[in-house]
Amino acid sequence: MSQRRIVCDIDDTICFTTNRDWENATPKTEVIEKINKLYDEGWEIYLVTARGQVSCKGDPVKAEQKYGEGIRTWLKKHGVNYHVLSFQKFLASYYVDDKGLTPEAFVNLDIERFRDGRSGSVVERHGSRVYKTFPEQPKALAEATWYNLVDGMVTIPKLHSVIDRTICIEYVKSILKTPSLDFIKETLLKFRSVSYYPEKKFSDYIDEVSRNHEATLIEILGDRDFFLNDPDRKSEVINMNRSFCHGDFTLENILVTEEGKHYLIDPIFKKDSFSSWLLDASKMLHSMRKYNKPVLFESLFSFVQKNTGMTSREIYLMEFLHWIRIYKYAHEDEKEFIKETILELKREYL
């Protein structure tokens, strides 16, 4: 083995890829410049990739046949100098890898399992990074897409990588503090200004909830067609407020640091569903009711009315739909409270 050999990973090390779009991967310029400098100084540069470990079941020959040409084309396009491209690991003086650890760092690695997500995702902190693994790959890709779309719009943890069903983001140490109402309102107005949404209407959203949560409607309300003739299902003011959104805008999904900085996490991003900042506003109202924050609730309620002209019933209907949606995902110790809240909202407002 040459004492001047460097083995370097490709994905999330010399480039960043979203949605497995290898051809249009974003180069990490500083890493490439360092590779080229060492190449010019006589170091052997071996580029090694794990592509094919899943799709080709770890067969390096099949992986080369499937990915080799595309990788070489990308490397040439971005001016990466190297000696060997391999789908196997070689001995080297250094391994450059986004997941690499020294033995000492491995011994000291602090791994913390967070409470698993309602969607079946598993969330763990590994040192300064958080890994979230979803039941299906499309959900991981959707969340990564959302993080990329809002980068620069709102404060979010840095997205490090997307590999199969797992996304890796920066760990943000938060304190147990209620998010600022000003931050909540400012974020909603930012989303309101972004016309990124599918051509779906509020009635489509209601129908989606009715289909996916039929068992809840029957169990709690005794009527699978509860929303079928609702007077506000075709609300023009709601349809006029279609926009980009977070999808799960709750108090829990806003992290507040000791310095008072706010970070948004855990979006639910669907490209083919109704999207509106009002979904986020009503989800936040749902969260404020859940955690008994009446002053914040009333302030946000008035804020929505002032900025839209919505009737009270329209706002309560949107909140009501969130309570219906979460019931089947709730832990058993939460279900009775959710059921009572649904029935109370029905009696008082619907």
Amino acid at 41: E
Counting every residue written for the chain, the total comes to 350
Q: What is the mean pLDDT of residues 232-249?
A: 96
- What's the half-sphere exposure (Cβ side, CA atoms, 13 Å) at 59? 7
pLDDT digits (tens, 9 = 90+) for 83-98: 999 998 665 556 777 7
Residue 102: pLDDT band (50, 70, 90) is low
pLDDT digits (tens, 9 = 90+) for 146-156: 999 999 999 99
Instruction: Give the domains, in start order, of the chain with CATH numbers.
Output: 5-96 (3.40.50.1000), 103-170 (3.30.200.20), 181-349 (3.90.1200.10)
Q: What is the pLDDT at residue 16? A: 85
Give the rounded percent of residues in the chain with a pLDDT score beyond 70: 93
pLDDT digits (tens, 9 = 90+) for 280-326: 999 999 999 999 999 999 999 999 999 999 999 999 999 999 999 99
Q: What is the pTM of this model?
A: 0.79
